[in-house]
Amino acid sequence: MEAIAKNYYRIYDDKEEENFFKSKLDHQGIKELLKEFENSHQEYYNNDFFSFVKEHDPDAAIISVQSLYY
Q: Which tens digit of pLDDT belongs to each residue from 6-50?
A: 899 998 877 877 889 999 999 999 999 999 999 998 888 888 999
**pTM of the full structure:** 0.79
* Residue 70 domain flag: no
* Residue 47 domain flag: yes
Domain carrying residue 40: 7-63
48-66 burial, b at 16+ Cβ within 10 Å, e below that, comes to ebbeebeeebeebeeeeee
DSSP string, 21-53: EEESS-HHHHHHHHHHHHHH-SS--HHHHHHHH
* Residue 2 domain flag: no
CA distance linking residue 2 with residue 62, whole number of Å: 22
Total structural domains in the chain?
A: 1
* Residue 45 domain flag: yes
* Residue 58 domain flag: yes
* Residue 69 domain flag: no
